[in-house]
Structure 1
């Protein structure tokens, strides 16, 4: 009788171990400051809703219909939490990301045309040029491993600064980048005061220490905005030109310098950090599965001319786009959204009281066994069919869906196709990244890959 060989378990890309026992107040604080995702109960990938109390009542929602209610049908009842606002307000003020109600609505109406399909497509050459410079840097690194997290951060910051303050020699890119990075690395950490729900006037020391660099950054941005307003647009309008020209069609209100600056800094933070992470995680997954990488490269080589993808190529790169969608599912940059209930409501048949914290744990939603087949596996082909809209929320949804989503997807596909058309990627042994969320889901330790030129 022939002995049966054991079937090897399917290899899965790296994931976060979820909690099987309550952490308690101090355990939660310690976990939150190390990795926000590490507080997620294992039940969040098995059930539609999980509730509890850690200082105050909270509910984690993984049900598409409940997500629809929070983000769309009963939007005004679920403003962003004070914790979220207190973290970011010193850096980005009352911008689109923070503002609520009428103040948010007029800004959104004024800014929406900036990210029209036509305007975003006009910026594609900037993305292609940055991708080409990245190829040159990787080639110059020679036959050694490259940290593609660092490389993608450099690339995407080049893009966002070029499409925001193009040609402005007085704009200190490195100064702005370093100030934002330093502030977010400390200010985005949860404090005990946050968990206990203490008023926002109670100091959070980490957020106080990082404000000096932020003040300097704002002065630089204000000077660049005022100089551009005096000089006027030149050539293809960039984001600053478009925002300067923008106005609320209902009230005819335009943004003043401080409002322009806060929104531009929001676009800089969101527009380079999240895209860099999506690219880094996509490259990690391609190195993890060589068969998928080969298929994606074959598609890229059949479309991309001269080794650099262009805006018009995107529609002919469906499999590359599926890889991006799958990377955003497995490692959503915004791994968790937090809201505070203003009035009583019912979600998944459960009572929500005024003041309760309502959490949309996007990381767990995207891996929930009730919604996804083989949820921890890297399977780009699953995107041949679209999921329930509120089961997949890498950019949020409803009226407050990320205004730059189409910009981010366009940039990611252009860069990924360009890299695939030039290199073959292999993982470096012993350098597996760990998904860690402070403000965004970053690959801690970097994404170290060997890039073999074709």
Structure 2
């Protein structure tokens, strides 16, 4: 396996390959680290095409990305490989559903994520940030894997947000079941690379089917019980979804639809934010000068742990989160399957072709970003100068992540709380390695010393 890390003036990154890969190499790369599928030319060219089992096209040009993600959305649904990986765990919720089934669910769920509802939930984020700071302080003068703590912290948030601490449902067991699924079954099968039909069993997914079925039954039981009990004084995500109604049809979500969306929010709602925070803390340890500026901002604004009301007054910390999401986007590669013939930047697109959107490469593209491998949160001072489809941590177009504002508020609250109280320094020889299976994780953890200030 190649050494993935850099030393010197730039933070760790994946060294993209500059020689073509065959079918077996591509499959091995996808099993090891999906980012390894991206050639170096993807950081320099607007589009690349090739064939590895099936025909594929990598699209990096912002105008062409708008074409795929907005103008011709219906012609480019999520790829068959993506659906094969995710459907066993999260069913037909918003992340996987397509067409009319996706549209009506989006109409029901969109009001759940209004500014007002997010603001009502920020005290949960503040309390979780305070607990994280207490755990880090209790560790004393030893290194802490902040990546592990960020997973715990954001899972605290999403559990409370989704279920209000309902002890009739073991949310932690849900997390373990899905994590086990990703580890054992979520990796791309050779059958996926070859374009084999879904009815051919993938061994890892067969092994985890029983655990997932048990998890879904437990979720269904809890949802039914909540319907009988009614909403709490401060409605949680389940309450809001149960009360939600499609304004066009009057339709409400059935139990299985509620379950699929809740499981999607539990996984995506904490995993991506935990990763953004983990990478942000790594970057602050990498660049002490930026860390000092962030601490000064936080200490000038906060009188205790950060709250939702503090978020607009912490612009540098927000830019640090944005830059962490640029350098280490949680979904480093996404893909679509073309449904109709098309042409993109002169490339002939045929039905069944895979259109890959290598977000990791787009965020480091030489023609889109100045000094793209460097950590520079101030590049977001003028957001209007950044082409819209050059920055895609939450996707874009109609299918942009519905929880983006929630995630950003949570990340700023937690990061500001921690950076106001601790000085983080790297542990020599323990740099994380960016490795993507379904998300871009810091392999080996993010080990930092945390000195109280």
TM-score by length of 1: 0.97
Work out which of the residue numbers 261, 269, 272 in structure 1 matches 2:270: 272
1:3 maps to which residue?
none
Provide, for residues 331-369 of structure 1, a one-character-per-residue CA deviation record: whole Å limited to 9, x for no partner. 000101100111111111221111110000000000000
1:190 maps to which residue?
188
Provide, for residues 8-32 of structure 1, a one-character-per-residue CA deviation record: whole Å limited to 9, x for no partner. x961000001111112111111111
1:6 maps to which residue?
none
Q: Does the 8 Å contact 2:49/2:347 carry over to 1?
A: no
Alignment RMSD (CA, Å) = 0.9
1:66 maps to which residue?
64
Q: Does the 8 Å contact 2:68/2:76 carry over to 1?
A: yes
1:429 correspondence with 2:428: yes
1:380 maps to which residue?
377
TM-score by length of 2: 0.97
TM-fit CA distance, 1:186: 2.2
Structure 2: distance between partners of 1:179 and 1:211: 10
SS of corresponding position for 2:142: coil
1:396 maps to which residue?
395
Work out which of the residue numbers 82, 85, 90 in structure 1 matches 2:83: 85
Provide, for residues 235-291 of structure 1, a one-character-per-residue CA deviation record: whole Å limited to 9, x for no partner. 111100100100100000000111100000000010010000000000000000000
1:412 correspondence with 2:411: yes
1:231 maps to which residue?
229
Structure 2: distance between partners of 1:372 and 1:208: 43
Q: Does the 8 Å contact 2:159/2:165 carry over to 1?
A: no
Provide, for residues 191-243 of structure 1, a one-character-per-residue CA deviation record: whole Å limited to 9, x for no partner. 11111111111111111111222112112211211111111111111100100
Provide, for residues 405-429 of structure 1, a one-character-per-residue CA deviation record: whole Å limited to 9, x for no partner. 0010000000000001111000000
SS of corresponding position for 1:123: helix
SS of corresponding position for 1:451: strand
Structure 1: distance between partners of 2:84 and 2:29: 20
Aligned residue pairs: how many?
445
State how 1:132-171 maps to structure 2 within 5 Å.
132-171=130-169
State how 1:168-317 maps to structure 2 within 5 Å.
168-306=166-304, 308-317=305-314
SS of corresponding position for 1:374: coil
Q: Does the 8 Å contact 2:297/2:314 carry over to 1?
A: yes
SS of corresponding position for 1:282: helix
Provide, for residues 119-148 of structure 1, a one-character-per-residue CA deviation record: whole Å limited to 9, x for no partner. 011100000000000111111111100001
Structure 2: distance between partners of 1:434 and 1:401: 27
State how 1:356-371 maps to structure 2 within 5 Å.
356-371=353-368
Q: Return structure 1 stretches of 4+ with deviation > 6 angstroms.
A: none
Structure 1: distance between partners of 2:9 and 2:233: 50
Instruction: Give 5+ residue unaligned stretches, structure 2.
Output: 1-6
State how 1:101-112 maps to structure 2 within 5 Å.
101-112=99-110
Structure 2: distance between partners of 1:278 and 1:221: 28
TM-fit CA distance, 1:158: 0.5
Structure 1: distance between partners of 2:193 and 2:171: 35
TM-fit CA distance, 1:162: 0.3
Provide, for residues 36-86 of structure 1, a one-character-per-residue CA deviation record: whole Å limited to 9, x for no partner. 001110100011111111011100011000100000000000010111001
SS of corresponding position for 2:434: strand
Structure 1: distance between partners of 2:29 and 2:20: 12
Structure 2: distance between partners of 1:302 and 1:216: 49
2:3 maps to which residue?
none
Structure 2: distance between partners of 1:417 and 1:452: 15
SS of corresponding position for 1:170: coil
1:123 correspondence with 2:127: no
1:336 correspondence with 2:333: yes
Structure 1: distance between partners of 2:183 and 2:199: 21
1:25 maps to which residue?
23
